Amino acid sequence: ELLDRLVLKEESFDLEKDIGKRKEIIFPEHVPLSEVQRGIKSGRYLQGTFQASRENYLEANVFVQDSEKYNQLFVQGYRNLNRAVHDDIFAVEVLQEQEWATPFSLVIDDKDDDQGDLVIEQ
Position 109 pLDDT exceeds 60: no
Nearest-10 Cα torsion for 26, 28, 29, 33: -130
Sign of dihedral through CA atoms 38, 44, 47, 52?
negative
pLDDT in tens, 14-71: 545 555 565 566 777 888 999 999 999 999 999 999 999 888 888 999 999 877 888 8
HSE, CB side, 13 Å, CA atoms: give it for residue 119.
1
| Band of pLDDT at residue 5, cut at 50, 70 and 90 | very low
What does each C-alpha distance from 42 to 10, 53, 81, 91, 97 come to in angstroms?
48, 29, 22, 13, 20
pLDDT at res. 33: 92
Q: Mean pLDDT score of the chain, rounded to an integer?
A: 75
Spatial neighbors of 103 by CB under 8 A, at least 6 apart, are: 53, 55, 56, 59, 74, 76
Domain boundaries, the chain: 31-103
Q: What is the mean pLDDT of residues 62-83?
A: 86
pLDDT at res. 115: 56
CA separation for the pair 26, 50 (Å, rounded): 20
pLDDT at res. 107: 46
pLDDT at res. 38: 95
pTM over 0.85: no
Fold of 31-103: OB fold (Dihydrolipoamide Acetyltransferase, E2P) (2.40.50)
The 3-class secondary structure across 82-102, one letter per residue, is: CCCCCCCEEEEECCCHHHCCC
